[in-house]
Structure 1
Amino acid sequence: MLRPITFASLLVLALSPLAPAQAVVIFDSGVDESNANDSSPAYLAQYEIATQFDLTSEVTVREATLLGSAESPASFTLNFYADAAGAPAATASYSFAVASADYSTASATGGRLTYTLDFSDVVLAAGTWWFSAYASSAWSWGAANPTSLATQYRTAGSELSWTAYNRGHAFTLSDGAATTPIPLPAAAPLLAAGLAGLALVSRRRSRRAA
């Protein structure tokens, strides 16, 4: 017998959104609020800094978080480079700017901010990659020295040769998973099934009563 509570459960399931999906962290530099100090703002406005990371399978990156000072630049330029003999390639496989209107911030220790930057799908094959970021104006990216990270730098916006660098910067890369509500067309069949079941039970009860 289909009990009223069963129908109510179907109704709730049909009309409720999905629970939030947890973002999967693809890479964490290991530099964070606990061990980061700030780099020179003038230095980071002038130079692009890239960090190496390895992937064992293909991934899709949709979000980066950076820890840094509270200047909130007008934009950040993010780049993903293939590896070229232990250094980033001369040109990026993916390169794009994220404007201040398109990133969010949250308070961090020491008057700093965590910047969350969302962007369109970046599909990376298994292998060695490099991620870089630089701001449109003077900004201090949280860093630790020394670290085990492989890092390189060059003049921002150029295609000059890369130079080895001995500081690691605070960032994570993730798939940026988010809550996705169940659209009404998808929920409607569940609701219809519940209503049909309730109608069937009512009809059977009426026949028995007769």
Structure 2
Amino acid sequence: MPRFCDYCHSYLTHDTPSVRKSHLLGKNHVRLAADYYCNKARQTEKPIFGKSRTAKKSRKRAQSSQGKEPERRWTLHCDTNRQKRQSHKASLAQQDLAPISVLEKLYRDSPAYAKVFVSECRLDTGQSVRLERLPQRANKRPQREAAAGPQKQTRNTLYKPDYSDAGSTASTALLPPPPSLAQWPACPPLQLASDRAAVATVQHVTRKLEARR
């Protein structure tokens, strides 16, 4: 069983004298042990000389001679805990009243919620798909190509590939999809047959969130 160091809160690799000696002489152990004993000394320290009454009297006289401190002109008015709770409840009520989808309700408290469901924070994936995979060369002129080609799309616009030769740039035009997939008589629906599982999950998550409050 390897030996445990109480100061460093770590296990030694081997329970041998050489390993113990090297650990005790290490910088990390020496620093942590020094901090431990320094904190212990501060907790148990006592004044060498007791407090005298003459020092208190002299301090009071000095304070009375200086006079009172001038009052502050500006006062900071912070919200009380009750006002903070009311504002928090109001914001939660506004979130519940706003139209929201099932996925947004599921991932509302997730860390990357804004990057997916907030349009202003989303990263534009269409532009990255349009860029070529070749490495960027120093002799290329991207500004001229951008001026000659179509206008740059924004975040809110969806990427729609142009299969015609007119919209193509110096690179070859995109090939159209195969006719067996494009002209299929009965395409399968993209919606779920039943949203029972999603609704049950949303109800379970909302119950948990309400219980935490």
Higher helix share: 2
Larger relative contact order (C-alpha < 8 A, sep ≥ 6)?
A: 1
Higher strand share: 1
Q: Normalising to structure 2: TM-score of the pair?
A: 0.18
Larger Rg: 2
Q: Normalising to structure 1: TM-score of the pair?
A: 0.18
